[in-house]
A and B are shown apart, each in its own frame.
Chain A
Amino acid sequence: MNNFQRLQQEDEERYKPEIDRIKADLNGSMDLFRFIGNIVEIYVPRFFDMMVVTSGGGKVKTNNPHEQLPPSTGRDENGPKGPADLDRGIR
């Protein structure tokens, strides 16, 4: 380590408390960026869908599971159930 690097090391020791304060501020900014990113990710596609619909286009198909109808209940799910009492079924 040369004298320039020792100088830097001294400065780093000296400014450590400042660095923690800057980190707290920076985390706030990062959270804000992430929040804005999430908002953009969710609402911008919806905004364009809305524009398409208002300009006369059909409802845009979406892959979002929350916007899809549940699968219809088929025959297999609503068919007759087996006997509650197993012995009765055997006889």
Chain B
Amino acid sequence: MKQTCNKDMKDIEVIHSYLESQASNCFSLLYNRYATKIFSKCISLLKDEALAKDATQEIFTKIFLNLSRFGEKSKFSTWVYSITYNYCIDYIRKMKKQDIFSDEMEKVADVADDGPEIDEELLQMEVRQLREVLDEISIGDKTILLMKYQDELSIKDIAEILGKTESAVKMQIKRAKERAQRTKRELFQEPFS
């Protein structure tokens, strides 16, 4: 009998079941779990609904065709997000013909983690304010902040996805947070503390 999937199964169980049975409901289950997340990331980075639609479809096709290559070294969600971010970064790079991450990411000394107060200021923004701030800052800053705070990826995972060193990622996050806070103050006319 053909093995099928149900919504109580974990991602990895769904993947194994899909690879064994090729049952379409397994892939449908993975799609239902990740499609909205992927689409919202694409629209947030590409800033165009039609492009985001095409991107989501292509990203899922990539996932579908490469599912057997998922090595289980990381969580499935991390693997999915890495495909999503890399797709969007590559697209923007091709369009703008330049790297979205500035040269500041190269050749950086080891950076200490920021204190919790900087995180707190960023995480205390209202959702409405955060949306505007993220629309104002650069794509590179936005990407790295989404990876860190929305997807809660580790520094190691972010470094692997972006092909940078962990120190470079820490530096980029630190600068991105500073720029986000500065942008918030400019947009909402807060006095500098």
- Which of A2, A10, A11, A19 makes the CB contact (< 8 A) with B123? A2
| Interface residue tally for chain B (C-beta within 8 Å) | 32
Q: Which of B67-105 contact A (CB under 8 A)?
A: none
A8–B123 CB distance below 8 A: no
Nearest Cβ on chain B to A28's Cβ, whole angstroms: 10
- Which of B31, B131, B134, B150 makes the CB contact (< 8 A) with A23? B31
B127 interface residue per 8 A CB criterion: yes
A26–B145 CB distance below 8 A: no
| Interface residue tally for chain A (C-beta within 8 Å) | 24
Q: If the complex has contacts A15-B36, A22-B57, A30-B24, are A4 and B145 also in contact, measured as CB distance less than 8 A?
A: yes
* Cα(A30)–Cα(B53), bound, Å: 16
- Cβ proximity bits B9-32 to A, threshold 8 Å, 1 near / 0 not: 000000000000010100110010
Instruction: From A6, A15, A21, name the one whose CB has the most chain B CB atoms within 10 angstroms.
Output: A15
B189 interface residue per 8 A CB criterion: no
B35–A23 CB distance below 8 A: yes
B43 interface residue per 8 A CB criterion: yes
B40–A12 CB distance below 8 A: yes
Q: If the complex has contacts A3-B130, A18-B49, are A30 and B27 also in contact, measured as CB distance less than 8 A?
A: yes
Q: Name the residue on A nearest B55 (C-beta).
A: A22
- A10 contacts across to B, CB distance below 8 A: 127
- A6 contacts across to B, CB distance below 8 A: 127
- B24 contacts across to A, CB distance below 8 A: 27, 30
B61–A26 CB distance below 8 A: yes
* Cα(A39)–Cα(B16), bound, Å: 24
Q: If the complex has contacts A18-B49, A19-B36, are A3 and B127 also in contact, measured as CB distance less than 8 A?
A: yes
* Cα(A51)–Cα(B157), bound, Å: 49
Q: Name the residue on B nearest A25 (C-beta).
A: B57
* Cα(A44)–Cα(B44), bound, Å: 43
- B28 contacts across to A, CB distance below 8 A: 23
Nearest Cβ on chain B to A30's Cβ, whole angstroms: 7
A47 interface residue per 8 A CB criterion: no
- B150 contacts across to A, CB distance below 8 A: 4-5, 7-8
Q: If the complex has contacts A12-B37, A30-B64, are A7 and B130 also in contact, measured as CB distance less than 8 A?
A: yes
Q: Name the residue on B nearest A34 (C-beta).
A: B22
8 nearest interchain CB pairs? A11-B40, A4-B149, A12-B36, A4-B150, A19-B35, A6-B127, A7-B127, A2-B123
Q: List 13 A-B contacts (CB under 8 A).
A: A3-B125, A3-B127, A5-B149, A15-B36, A19-B36, A21-B53, A23-B31, A27-B24, A30-B24, A30-B27, A33-B61, A33-B65, A34-B22
